[in-house]
Structure 1
Amino acid sequence: MDAFFASVEQRDRPELRGKPVLVGGTGPRGVVAAASYEARKFGCRSAMPSAVAKRLCPHAIFVKGSFEQYKADSAKVFEILESYTPLVQPVSIDEAFMDVTGSLGLFGPPEAIATQIRDRVRSELRLTCSVGVAPNKFLAKLASDLNKPDGMAVITPENLRATLDPLPVSRLWGVGPSAEKSLHRLGVRTIADLHALPLDVLRSRFDDFGEHLWNLARGLDDRPVHTDREAKSISHEHTFAQDLEDPDAVRAVLADEAEQVARRLRRHARFARTVTVKIRFGDFETVTRSHTLDAPTDRTDTISAAARALFDQWARAFRPVRLIGVGVSNLTDAAGDAGLFDADESEKRRAVDKATDAIAAKFGKRAVQRASAIHKLPRHGAHGPGSDTPPT
């Protein structure tokens, strides 16, 4: 969706159309949650402090916003997507991947399906969206950004090199500022430059990440589109090669796991009421404890605080830990009473969550971490994948 929150406000309030609109708080600690394209021309962007946005665009109009309205519109968008294929993978409240391979006989080629979706979103919701059509998720995401707003781009094997080669390497998934600087030192500034490097050179410089870059430079990505919107619970676990004997190291892992769980909740527009911590000690005794929150949430800080409090119940009699996991359950489609924009502090924390989600989606989940997760985070160990319990 194009500038989703701001576009909804401009749709519902005609006096805002064509004007720079910022969704967020105006208090001393206010943060921009979304910026209209008119505001983006002045350098305003999401997750920016409101005070900075005001300096960049003094005539911008601030709007508190309504998460319930955004959520309702998001649900309608996903209904449209799922009318073409059940293989819809939400990335966030306003973005998704679709695999339409099995739908071509019913609805025509991918370009026709993309056009139908854009037309329906425009006619049924009076909003615009941008669509990328490509053989895989990496290329589809890249294509969706090429002709924003209200555009469509198609990447095929025939135009792959013409599309990728001129782009800066920063457009590749996982290439953040640090990796970009390292590539620049190798003389690599465009995807064409990267495409010219042999695999062994990239591996020697970047290890496994070098192979990742080599694949992306060729437009290769084998990640499937998967759906788990109806999961009854979401969890993330780590099993360690050596038992952890430092409680602070365990807390750091918990913070990281809470981040991953909360991010998956937000990706699927779900909220959780119950937080569970699972621990397996060095002697293989496994115990769990749960806490039910006052209201459903998808916020990282709330889930992390609950997980830490549960762990601290064990900390006084700490024993070496072999496995630690964080899970959430009692999932719902509705948030609790504390709405998205009820207070500046809530806005700020949600804007941080949104910004870190965007960075993780583009550069990988390790590209941004909270300080609580970095502190004493173990460098070695076997990491078990999170799991979603299927509906029963």
Structure 2
Amino acid sequence: MSTFLHLDGDAFFASCETAVNPKLRGKPVVTGADKGIASSMSYEAKARGITRAMPLFQIKKLCPECIIVPSNFKLYKIISARAFAIVRRYTPYVEEYSIDECFADLSHLEPETIPQIARAIKDELQKELGVTFSVGIGPTKVLAKVGSKWKKPNGFTVIDRKNIFNFLSEVQVGKVWGIGPSTSIALGKWGIKTAADFAHKPQEWVEEHFSKPVLALWYELNGVPVYTTENEESRHKSIMRSRTFKATTDRRMVFAELSNNIEDVCTRLRALRLVTKHLSFYLKTQQFRYHETSVTLPHETASPEVMLEALGPRFNNIFRTATLYRSTAIILSSVKDEKGTQSDLFGNTKHDKTLESVHAVIDRLDRKYGTQSVFLGSSMRAVGSVLFREKTLDRLYLPSMGEVG
């Protein structure tokens, strides 16, 4: 029987600040003094009406007693690494999902010991790090994530196959991990309001009206595991790169940041001798809303040029004019060894081969002179902002395919 644990940090950034400065405990703490908006709030600050992305001048008016501190990402990464190391004391099957979240596959453990082990993990995290995490346990990753959100903060929730629908009947379908706004609206048109409404639909109905990813969520909500934990033992089945930048409405600048991320993940693919044809990306707004889409390429590749050519039109479809964007991310999934790649009927993989010699030279230059000694033209604005600061504009750049207009 499959059993997954999901660990979710409680107001993680603010909690890290409290952990290293106990004088802040019990007080309304907000991180983000360096960004001009709230990036994280203690629960005391949330109780006073402070929300994420709220401008600091507004926070000071609403809650003069709030303690506003700069974000200390070095500290957060250290505590995050220690937290995941504690989880690995009990299982090697750990997927680091984000800086304050992870999944763990506990299926190899004796079922009767799992709640006790999960509580031990939770207690050790709080004792050793001074930070609380909410824990969810379920037969699938999606249900485990439902559980971790159930009793925040400092919650501990077990969802088993006998009580799945007791929980799902209380969860809005749009709050289910993996169901985005467009899917939520589509489900709503069929009268589906809760996760239980969706899970109770016949499999044939879901297959008829929705895509395979939505069907996978339906299985997960019904207690049938589709998603596994992705860890180092899974041979880098997915690779992700994200970067936060100064908020902007400039379409070319946002695309440059995305292009820069794609170049970075492709460099990692080539270093590991891996390829993929499944990629997705998102744009995150200043208000922490996500605009996302995915692309399946006709063949496996580690070429940023090929990926950008496919992503360009999708980017134009989801980009919203006059919207402030502050982050982009690229996620490569179903990554495989390049040795298993075969040429397709149209010779697309052969076209990739013609780029390999260019990439090999670029990779050698990066190793000798540092990363991004050579970069695509579509990345120039993102990389250029760094280059101007470093006064090294003598570096080369290449024209790219798939640039946006």
- Is the contact made by 1:280 and 1:286 (CA closer than 8 Å) also made in structure 2? no
Q: Which residue of 2 aligns with 1:35?
A: 41
1:313 aligns with 2:313: no
Read off the aligned partner of 2:202 and give its amino acid letter.
P
Counting matched residue pairs gives: 295
Query: Quick one: which of 178, 181, 187 aligns to 1:174?
Result: 178
- Is the contact made by 2:145 and 2:177 (CA closer than 8 Å) also made in structure 1? no
Alignment of 1:187-202 (within 5 A): 187-202=191-206
Matched position secondary structure for 2:40: strand
- Is the contact made by 2:88 and 2:94 (CA closer than 8 Å) also made in structure 1? yes
In the TM superposition, residue 60 of structure 1 has moved relative to its aligned partner by 2.0
Q: TM-score, normalised by structure 2?
A: 0.60
Q: Which residue of 1 aligns with 2:163?
A: 159
Aligned partners of 1:189, 1:175: CA distance in 2, in Å? 12
Alignment of 1:253-264 (within 5 A): 259-260=329-330
Alignment of 1:215-294 (within 5 A): 215-228=219-232, 234-235=268-269, 237-238=276-277, 240-241=297-298, 249=309, 252=312, 259-260=329-330, 282=351, 284-287=353-356, 288=359, 289-290=362-363, 291=366
Q: Which residue of 1 aligns with 2:242?
A: none
- Is the contact made by 2:199 and 2:221 (CA closer than 8 Å) also made in structure 1? yes
Read off the aligned partner of 1:286 and give its amino acid letter.
L
Q: Which residue of 2 aligns with 1:18?
A: 26
Q: TM-score, normalised by structure 1?
A: 0.62
Matched position secondary structure for 2:161: coil
In the TM superposition, residue 17 of structure 1 has moved relative to its aligned partner by 1.6
Q: What percent of counterpart residues are identical? A: 31
Aligned partners of 2:352, 2:20: CA distance in 1, in Å? 60
Q: Which residue of 2 aligns with 1:123?
A: 127
Aligned partners of 2:138, 2:68: CA distance in 1, in Å? 37
1:63 aligns with 2:69: yes
Q: Which residue of 1 aligns with 2:136?
A: 132
Read off the aligned partner of 1:178 and give its amino acid letter.
S
Q: Which residue of 2 aligns with 1:82?
A: 88
- Is the contact made by 2:141 and 2:220 (CA closer than 8 Å) also made in structure 1? no
Aligned partners of 2:141, 2:162: CA distance in 1, in Å? 17
- Is the contact made by 2:33 and 2:71 (CA closer than 8 Å) also made in structure 1? no
Q: In terms of mean alpha carbon deviation, does 133-142 or 167-176 score higher?
A: 167-176
Aligned partners of 1:91, 1:102: CA distance in 2, in Å? 21
Unmatched tracts of structure 2, length 5 or more? 1-8, 240-266, 270-274, 278-295, 317-327, 334-347, 373-377, 388-394
1:205 aligns with 2:209: yes
Pair 99,250 (structure 1): closer, same or farther in 2 beyond 3 Å: closer
Matched position secondary structure for 1:156: coil
Aligned partners of 2:307, 2:127: CA distance in 1, in Å? 55
Structure having greater relative contact order (Cα 8 Å, sep ≥ 6): 1
